[in-house]
Chain A
Amino acid sequence: MTKVLVVDDSNSIRDMVSFTLKSAGYQTVEAKDGQDGLSKAKINNFDLVISDVNMPNMDGISLCTELRKLASFKFTPILMLTTESSSEMKIRGKSAGATGWLVKPFNPEKLLATIKRVVK
C-alpha cells in the first residue's frame, strides 16, 4: 500500500488531504510541522511526502532539504503545498530537492490526479 506523509500546520487542510488520500486507498501519516514530519520520517518509510511550505518550527523547504539528506528519502517524491505560485517559490523548492508542488487552493480530485504523476 502506498504510504504518504502529510505535513501541514493547519488541521483542516491536513485532515482534508489525509482523508482524501485514505479514501483513495492510500495509507497516511500526519505531522503538524516540519520538525514533527522529520522525526516521523526518520522512523518510517514513505512513498510520498506532501508538505506545506509555511509552518512553525520547521518550514517545508527546510524539511525537504533535511529529508533529502536521509538515505531512505533520496528518491522519494516530495510535493510542496503552496499558495505562492510564483516562480521564485518553485525555484526554492526545487533547489531544496522538492519533486513538485501543488498550488492551493486545490480540490480532492485535483490532488489525487496530480499525485499520480509521482506515485502509483
Chain B
Amino acid sequence: MSVDLSQFIPSFLEESFEGLALMESGLLDLKRGDNETIHSIFRAAHSIKGGAGTFGFDNVTEFTHLVETLLDEMRDGRREVTSKDTEILLDAVDCMRLLIEAARDNQDYDHDKVAKTSSRLSETLGDEQSTDSENESNSNIEKKDACGYNIKFIPEHSLAKTGNDPIFLFSALAELGELTICANTEELPALMDIDAQELYLSWQLTLITDVEEAEVIEIFEWVEDECLLTLEPITNTSDDEFTQNLSEGVNSIISEPSVQPQLPSKAANQISLASTKVEHEPDAVIEEKSKAAKGKVKADLGSIRVGVDKVDSLINLVGELVITQSMLSELGNDFDMTKVERLTNGLEQLLQNTKELQESVMRIRMLPISFAFNRFPRLVHDLAIKTGKTMELVINGEQTELDKTVMEQIGDPLVHLVRNAADHGIESKEIRLANGKPEKGTISLDAYHQGGNIVIEIKDDGAGINRTSVLDKAIDKGLIDANATLTDSQVYDLLFEPGFSTAAEVTDISGRGVGMDVVKRNIQALGGRIQVESTLGKGSTFKVNLPLTLAILDGQLVKVGTETYIIPLISIVESLQIDNNLINRVSGDMVLYRLRDDNVPVLPIYQLFNLETECTEIDKALLVVVEADGQKVGLMVDDLLAQQQVVIKSLNDNYQQVAGISGATILGDGSVAMILDIPGMINMALEQAQRAQRVKTDGNSSVAAELCL
C-alpha cells in the first residue's frame, strides 16, 4: 500500500515555520535556568526534525539533529546557557529556515552559511559523535547464507503488561517465511495458581526464511528486555539440521538434489529484487522533487488557519440564512397583500443574516498582527549588536486583528521603519548618557483599532528629527526652494521624498537604496497613510494608518452627470451645500472655497474626468471635502446619494490601473460604479495645474490643448 505523503507537506511546512518562529522568540527571551522555555524550543526543533525526516527533507533532519543535541544538553542541565550559544542557535534557526525554504521551493540554498553554522554547532558540541555510527554498525551485520533460524523465545511472565502479545509477534514472523511453532507448557502452574494476567508459556520456533538475522531480531525489538531470546541460524553447511528441519522423513539421498537447486534460484531472486530496487530509486528522487514543487505551489497560494469557533459561527449563520430563505420562499408560494408585513420582516431578517455572514467571512481573513510583529524582537536584537547601541523593543496590542493581505504587505514597510528607528533614531550609549537619558534606548510597536482602521505606531525615544538638517538636505538636493517656509509636518514629509536620506553616512542597516518613499508608497497602495511626529531630543513617532481590510470599503455614492462614483468615507471630511459668498477665485481660474480658516481648492470631477454634465455651475453643485496626504480639496459633485459598504473589485484583472480610480464595485442594480482614488485625483489636479501654469508662463498654446485631453 502506498500513501501519498505530499499532501501533508504544506501543513508540515506551515508547522515548521511556526516552530522556527517559536524557537526564535524563545531564544531571544532565553535566560539562564529558564527550563520551560528551553523545553519548548527543544520540542519545536524536535518536531521539525521528526517531520523533516518523515517527509524526506534529509538535510533539514541532519542539520536540526545538531541543534537538537545542543538543546538537549541545555535541557538536561549538562550545559549552561551562554549568550554565545544563543547566538549560534539563532544562526542555526536562520539556517533551518533557509533549508526548509529551499526544500519548499525546490531550490538551492546558501551552502556556505549552513556549513559554517553546522561546523560551529559541532564545535560547540565538542565533536561528540552522533548515534548514527551505532545504527550503521547495526545494519552492517554480516550476511550469512542462512536459510532459516531456530528461535528460542522465553518471555517474562509480565510480558502482557506492556501490551505485547506473542501471537502478533508470531504472525509477523510468519510473514517472513515458513514458521513452525512449538509451545512449551512446562512452566504452567496448576490451575489454582494461575494468575490470568501472567504469561507462563515459552516457545521453540523454526523459521525457514532467507531474510537477514537483523530483520528477525527486529520483530522482537520491543520485547528483548523482557524475554530470553536465542537465535540460531540454520545454514547450508549444517546439513544435518537443515535437512532435518526442512523435510522431515524424506529420503536424504533423493531430497538433496531437489533442494539444492532451489537455493541458487532463491538467491537469484533476491538479486533481481535488489536490482529492481536500485532501478526504482531515481524515480523516487524525481517523485520527491515533484512533491516538493507541489508543496511550493500550495504554499504560494497561501492558506489561512482558521479557529474552529470562527467556522462554527459561520455555519450557524448559514443555518439561519437557510431558515430565512425557506421562510421567504414559503411566503412566496401563495402571496397576497395581507402578508406584506411578514415579507418585510423576512427581508429585514435576510438583510441582518447577510450582514452578519459578511462580517463573519471577513473575520476569517483577520489574523492577529503578532504575525507581522513576531520578527521584530530578533531584528532589534540583531540591530543592537550591529550598531553597538543598547536598545529594547516593547510591543503592545499584538492581538489586534488585521486582514491577511494587508498583513503580508505591511511587513516590509514596518521592518524599514523599525530599522530606521534603530539606526537613525536611537543614539549611541555615550550620547544618551550625556543627554541624561537612560542608557538603553526603547523602540515601541503599538497596534490598535481606531474607527474602521488599524493604527500601528513605531516610536523611539531617540534623538528626534532635526528640522534644520532635514531642510538643509532638502535644499541641497533641490527638493525645496532655499527660502521656502514649511510647517513641521511639511518638513517631516520631506523624509518620504524619493532619494532622501538624512543619515550622515549610509550604513548597511537603513539607507540601502530603498528609501522612505517606498515605505510611503507601499502604505498608500494599501489605502493607508503615514504621519510623523517628532520632538528634538525626545524621539519620533511614525504612525501608520491602515484599513482593516482591502476587500470592503465604506463609501459615499455621488452623482456626476450620468455616472455614479464612490468616495471612500474614510477620506471625507465633510459634505456641504456651496455658499456663493465663500467662493474665491484666485490667480485666474483657480477656485477656492473658504471652509472656516482653510481655503480649500475646488476640484470639479466632470472636468477632471472629462464628463458631460449639466451641473457645471459651482453654486448649483455640492461640495464633498476630502483629505489625503494632509491636503484638503473640495470635490464638486452633482448630487449626494446613499452611503453603503461596497465590495472592491480590481480593474487590473481585465484592464489596467486608471488614474484617479482605485477600483470598481457592483451596485445593487447590477451596474458598475468606479471608486475614487482621492490621493490620485489630487495628483491629477496638481499636474493639470502645473501644466496650466506652464501654459501661462510660456504662452504655449499647444500645451493648452494637451490639457483638454
Contact = CB atoms under 8 A, between A and B. Distances in A.
Contact between chain A and chain B defined by CB under 8 Å: yes
Interface string B204-226: 00000000000000010110011
B15 A83 contact: no
Given A16-B5, A19-B8, A99 B164 contact: yes
Contact of A116 (B54, B68, B163, B168): B168
Nearest to A100: B222
B61 interface: yes
Could you say which interface size class chain B belongs to? 35 or more
Contacts of B15: 10-12
B11 A101 contact: no
Interface in A52-84: 52, 54-56, 68, 74-78, 81, 83
Interface in A7-33: 9-13, 15-16, 19-20, 23-24
Contact of A105 (B46, B61, B168, B172): B61
B46 A75 contact: no
A78 B168 contact: no
A68 B162 CA distance: 9
B55 interface: yes
B131 A85 contact: yes
Contacts of A75: 160-161, 163, 197
A78 B165 CA distance: 12
A12 B163 contact: no
Given A99-B163, A101-B222, A107 B1 contact: no
B11 A107 contact: no
Q: Choose among A11, A101, A120 the residue with the greatest number of B CB atoms under 10 Å from its CB.
A: A11
A117 B169 contact: yes
A21 B5 CA distance: 13
A97 interface: yes
Contact of A13 (B50, B131, B165): B50
A69 B537 CA distance: 66
B424 interface: no
Contact of B1 (A55, A74, A101, A108): A108
Nearest to B46: A54
Contacts, number: 120
Interface string A97-114: 111110011111100100
Majority DSSP secondary structure for residues of A touching B = loop
Contact of A74 (B42, B49, B161, B225): B161
Contacts of A76: 163
A94 interface: yes
B2 interface: yes
A16 B161 contact: no
A86 interface: yes
B467 interface: no
B35 to A, nearest CB: 13
Given A101-B222, A112-B1, A83 B53 contact: yes
Max chain A Cβ within 10 angstroms of own Cβ: one of B9, B46, B135, B219 = B46
A111 to B, nearest CB: 9
A118 B53 CA distance: 24
Contact of A77 (B42, B163, B171, B197): B163
B25 interface: no
B50 A117 contact: no
A99 B162 contact: yes
Nearest to A76: B163
A105 B54 contact: yes
B414 to A, nearest CB: 28
Contacts of B221: 100
Contacts of B225: 91, 94
Interface of B is mostly: helix
B47 A54 contact: yes
B547 interface: no
Contact of B11 (A11, A23, A91, A109): A11
B51 interface: yes
Max chain A Cβ within 10 angstroms of own Cβ: one of B42, B51, B131: B51
A10 B43 CA distance: 10
B40 interface: yes
Interface in B66-101: 68
A75 B158 CA distance: 11
B54 A13 contact: yes
B132 to A, nearest CB: 10
B50 A94 contact: no
A10 B160 contact: no
Given A19-B3, A74-B161, A100-B164, A81 B50 contact: yes
Which of B50, B55, B56 counts the most A-chain CB atoms under 10 A from its CB? B50
B448 interface: no
Nearest to B222: A100
B43 A15 contact: no
A18 to B, nearest CB: 10
A98 B197 CA distance: 17
A83 B46 contact: yes
B219 A117 contact: yes
A117 to B, nearest CB: 5
B51 A97 contact: no
Residue picked from A56, A78, A99, A100, most chain B C-beta under 10 Å: A99
B51 A9 contact: no
A120 B40 CA distance: 36
A10 B222 contact: no
Contacts of A97: 161-163
A93 to B, nearest CB: 9
B64 to A, nearest CB: 9
B12 interface: yes
Contacts of A54: 42-43, 46-47
A109 to B, nearest CB: 7
Interface in B26-61: 40, 42-43, 46-47, 49-56, 61
A75 B196 CA distance: 12
A107 to B, nearest CB: 7
Contacts of A98: 162-163
Contacts of A105: 50, 52-56, 61
Interface string B168-188: 110110010000000000000
Interface string B134-170: 0100000000000000000000000011111100110
B2 A9 contact: no
Contacts of A86: 131
A106 B164 contact: no
8 contacts: A12-B8, A16-B3, A81-B50, A83-B50, A99-B162, A104-B53, A107-B54, A109-B1
Interface of A: 9-13, 15-16, 19-20, 23-24, 52, 54-56, 68, 74-78, 81, 83, 85-86, 91, 94, 97-101, 104-109, 112, 116-120
Q: Which 9 A-B pairs have the closest CB atoms?
A: A105-B53, A100-B222, A12-B12, A99-B163, A77-B163, A108-B3, A104-B50, A105-B54, A12-B11
